[in-house]
């Protein structure tokens, strides 16, 4: 009787261990799936950031700003006779 009880207990331990392994494997796959999704999102954010930097440099280029100043605000560079030098004492 004691021998069959030990065998039954051993079978219970083996089954519980197998269920635990299956559950942990499932959790591992789930977390790995989340990791790959986050890595894809991080890569997309890097691409978007690169595009943003390119757009920012295009919008802030000195040539564009100068063109807007001339065309939209009718600004111009001063003529030499229009420049006043102020000396500070």
pLDDT tens by residue, 29-56: 999 999 999 999 999 999 999 999 999 8
Decide which of 66 and 24 is more confident.
Answer: 24
Q: Is the pLDDT of residue 89 over 80?
A: no
Let me know if residue 46 belongs to a domain: yes
Let me know if residue 82 belongs to a domain: no
Q: How many domains does the chain have?
A: 1
Let me know if residue 62 belongs to a domain: yes
Q: Is the pTM of this model over 0.75?
A: no
Contacts of 17-22 with C-beta under 8 Å, sequence gap 24+, read: none
Q: How far apart are CA 77 and CA 66, in angstroms?
A: 10
Give the number of C-alpha atoms closer than 13 A to the C-alpha of residue 57, restricted to the C-beta side. Answer: 5
Averaged confidence pLDDT in the chain: 93
Decide which of 64 and 38 is more confident.
Answer: 38
pLDDT tens by residue, 11-22: 999 999 999 999
Let me know if residue 69 belongs to a domain: yes
Let me know if residue 86 belongs to a domain: no
Domain extent, residue 23, equals 2-76
Convert 36-77 into a string of H (helix), E (strand) and C (coil): HHHHHHHHHHHHHHHHHHHHHHHHCCHHHHHHHHHHHHCCCC
Let me know if residue 88 belongs to a domain: no
Q: Rg of the chain over CA atoms, in angstroms? A: 36
Let me know if residue 89 belongs to a domain: no
Let me know if residue 83 belongs to a domain: no
């Amino acid at each position: 009787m004691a021998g069959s009880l030990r065998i039954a207990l051993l079978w219970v331990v083996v089954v519980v261990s197998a269920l635990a392994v299956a559950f942990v494997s499932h959790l591992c796959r789930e977390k790995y799936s989340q990791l790959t999704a986050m890595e894809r999102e991080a890569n997309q954010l890097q691409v978007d950031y690169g595009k943003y930097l390119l757009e920012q440099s295009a919008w802030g280029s000195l040539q564009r700003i100068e063109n807007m100043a001339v065309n939209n605000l009718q600004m111009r560079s001063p003529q030499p006779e229009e420049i006043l030098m102020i000396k500070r004492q």
